[in-house]
């Protein structure tokens, strides 16, 4: 089995199912928009754009290929294995193969799922009344949502897609707890969904599950800072430390020791370094590596130019300008962003530390971009909206 047969063997049922999925996605979009009372109609244009990028992504898979294709043509190797983080996507791909569902259809199903965070993010923008307060900031944020790379890397069946969705909705659940203007979710359901998303990440990228778990516990500590000596807190602390150990072992495996952790970090830092043109120098000062991770290549740092890199260069250069415009720190907004702040700090510190490949960094950063923008917007607009609503 090869990627060409996986993508080209369409039959009449596949065509029917593809059309049905398009119809279903439109109905689902309309339903969610109505359910959360989202009045912003730009969501439909963004959805059409998302589908356009999906077609480009499909062409990329056919002409170039991608790592995600291996999940389908290697899935048989893992049929008898238990579900583990290293084989989770192979098992899921094997399930789709057993149903004879074409890879293009599988990709489109995940593309539909990957669009749902944008709907809820637009609801956050609407709730913060950004358009009423600053039309310039509003159009900056909306323009970022139309960056091609934002949609390209989450347009199919991949770790990036699942990570993007799980990270955003983990963030959204904590924001909805604090902002009564957002659609409410019961406390029990919120906790259940949080653990579901954490364990979903565990099967895809255990290190991200660790970051989300730690961020969730920091949020809990912040909310219960006046009741540390209660029986309930001690029980939760013991359970949390047990789960923390579980995730650490999952991330570092048998290398769970100081030397083992150090060796693992060095291994990932030196992984996929393909030459100076795609490398973040491992000896660069950490703060510069952090800037390179988020904003390179750009007009000031690029060393080669292709159609793909030209798009990325334009995006990153605009991101620099947009962040300079949007960045604002407001202490009054911290309690509404404690989960996001913890998660973003842990993510950016760890990914900056271990990532030396610009191609990988330009894929990874989009996974946390909606929570990142949300945190900036909360800091910039939440206190103002309290005054505005009065």
pLDDT for res 11:
74
Quick check: 20 pLDDT over 90? yes
d(CA 26, CA 45): 12
**Residue 183: DSSP 8-state:** P
Phi-psi region of 272 (alpha: psi -120 to 50; beta: other; left: phi over 0): left
Over the stretch 246-301, which tens digit does the pLDDT of each residue have? 888 888 765 566 666 777 776 666 665 555 455 666 566 667 777 777 888 888 77
Q: Is residue 351 within 8 Å of residue 289, measured between CB atoms?
A: no
Report CA 298 to chain centroid distance, whole Å.
22
Distance CA 233, CA 137 (A): 42
- The 3-state DSSP class for residue 134 equals coil
Backbone angles phi, psi at 99, to 5 degrees: -90, 0
Contact present, 3 and 94 (Cβ < 8 Å): no
Is the pLDDT reported for residue 110 higher than 60?
yes
Residue 265, CA atoms < 13 Å, CB-side half-sphere: 14
Sequence-ordered list of residues with C-beta below 8 angstroms from that of 312, at least 6 positions apart, any chain: 149, 297, 362
**CB of 346 closer than 8 Å to CB of 211:** yes
b or e along 368-381 (b: 16 or more beta carbons within 10 Å of the residue's beta carbon)? bbbbbbbbbbbbbb
Residues with Cβ within 8 Å of residue 329, at least 6 apart in sequence:
379
pLDDT band for position 109 (50/70/90)? very high
| Domain parsing of the chain, residue ranges | 110-389
Residue-wise pLDDT for 52-89, tens only, equals 999 999 888 877 767 777 788 777 777 766 677 778 88
List pLDDT tens digits, range 164-187.
Answer: 999 999 999 999 988 888 888 888
């Amino acid at each position: 089995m090869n990627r060409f047969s996986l993508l080209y063997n369409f039959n009449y049922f596949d065509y029917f199912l593809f059309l049905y999925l398009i119809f279903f996605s439109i109905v689902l979009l309309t339903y969610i928009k109505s359910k959360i009372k989202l009045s912003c109609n730009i969501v439909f244009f963004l959805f059409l754009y998302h589908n356009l990028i999906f077609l480009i992504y499909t062409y990329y898979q056919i002409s170039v290929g991608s790592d995600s294709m291996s999940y389908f043509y290697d899935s048989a190797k893992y049929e008898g294995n238990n579900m583990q983080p290293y084989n989770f996507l192979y098992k899921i791909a094997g399930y789709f193969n057993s149903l004879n569902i074409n890879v293009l259809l599988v990709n489109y199903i995940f593309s539909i799922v990957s669009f749902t965070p944008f709907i809820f993010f637009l609801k956050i923008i609407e709730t913060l009344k950004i358009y009423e307060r600053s039309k310039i900031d509003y159009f900056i944020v909306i323009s970022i949502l139309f960056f091609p790379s934002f949609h390209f890397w989450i347009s199919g069946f991949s770790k990036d897609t699942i990570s993007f969705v799980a990270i955003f909705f983990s963030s959204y659940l904590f924001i909805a707890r604090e902002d009564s203007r957002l659609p409410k979710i019961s406390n029990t359901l919120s906790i259940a969904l949080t653990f579901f998303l954490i364990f979903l990440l565990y099967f895809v990228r255990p290190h991200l599950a660790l970051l989300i778990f730690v961020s969730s516990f920091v949020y809990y500590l912040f909310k219960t800072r006046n009741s540390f000596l209660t029986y309930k807190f001690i029980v939760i602390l013991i359970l949390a430390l047990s789960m923390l150990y579980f995730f650490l072992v999952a991330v570092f495996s048998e290398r769970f020791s100081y030397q083992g952790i150090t060796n693992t970090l060095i291994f990932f830092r030196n992984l996929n370094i393909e030459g100076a043109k795609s490398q973040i120098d491992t000896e660069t000062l950490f703060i510069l590596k952090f800037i390179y991770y988020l904003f390179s290549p750009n007009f000031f740092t690029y060393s080669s130019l292709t159609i793909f890199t030209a798009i990325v260069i334009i995006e990153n250069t605009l991101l620099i300008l947009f962040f300079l415009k949007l960045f604002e720190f407001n202490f009054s907004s911290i309690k509404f962003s404690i989960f996001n702040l913890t998660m973003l700090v842990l993510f950016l510190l760890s990914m900056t530390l271990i990532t030396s490949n610009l191609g990988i960094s330009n894929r990874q950063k989009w996974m946390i971009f909606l929570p990142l923008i949300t945190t900036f917007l909360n800091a910039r607009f939440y206190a103002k909206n309290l005054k505005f609503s009065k």
